[in-house]
Amino acid sequence: MPAYRRALITGASGGIGAAFARQLPKTTALLLTGRDRQRLDNLACRLAQRGHAVETFAADLTREAERDSLIERADAFGIDLLINNAGAGRFGRFLDSPAEVERDTVLLNVVAVVDLTRRLLPGMLARARGERRRAGLIIVGSAAGFAPVPMFATYAASKVFDLQFTEALAEELHNEAIDVVALLPGPTRTGFGPRAGWRGAAIPGAADADDVAADGLAALGKKTVCVAGRLSGAALAPVLAPRRLVAGALGMAMRFVAGRQ
């Protein structure tokens, strides 16, 4: 992994975002953002005790004005590593989910990713060229983005976007001083499931968030797509099967799971 001086991590209040903050070396100053100010400050305090330079910025990235403020702060901070990790989704039938929840899933998983990336990349690239260093961009997608997932329809579709957006960007920027990675975790032990409405037991074999973050950082400069976690082989299986059959099979499985909750 190249040495980065300053990183912005979105969705850093917990889970994989907080794991990225823990995995980056003390030589990388951190700008952490998320919705939960208290959890951000608690994480910043723990990291500061370990020698990290940390700033926090509480923001709801579904809101344009708050994205504007974060982008201004990140540019002033002088980031050379952007980790677009913030994400949300709702488990259940699409028509049973509130319209605003589905809308906010797209705003956070798609619109915020595009907005932050488009507006922060020019400064990152200029600094990288001027300092003869490499910048870095990680967009956290999901293994769910490999196939349509009934009961998680909007979330999975948004992660398809994240994957293809990152792959296209990596090709467009291959002559620039930046490394681009799409990190696609399989099931991971975080608070995402309960927040999404999943009331079932933890999935056996789910990965540790710190391992997923470490995989993503290690992929910088080496690969464009990194499927992380012990279930990554299973996650790739849908790519090899006809998409309609996959959707039908996943629909049956997810309806079965929903009926048992």
Catalytic residue set: 155
Q: Which residues neighbour 135 within 8 Å (Cβ) at sequence distance 6 or greater?
A: 4, 80, 81, 82, 124, 125, 127, 128, 177, 178, 179
CA distance 67 to 229: 30
In 3-121, DSSP assigns E strands to: 6-9, 29-34, 54-58, 81-84
CA distance 17 to 87: 10
Listed as own residue / partner, the contacts of 188-192 with beta carbons closer than 8 Å and 24 or more positions apart are: 188/15, 188/16, 188/212, 188/228, 188/229, 190/14, 190/15, 190/16, 191/14, 191/15, 192/15, 192/87, 192/89
CA distance 15 to 258: 24
Compute, in degrees rounded to 10, the torsion defined by CA atoms 154, 155, 156, 157: 50
Instruction: Select from 142, 9, 13 the least CA-distant residue to 77.
Output: 9
Instruction: Select from 174, 155, 156 the least CA-distant residue to 166.
Output: 174
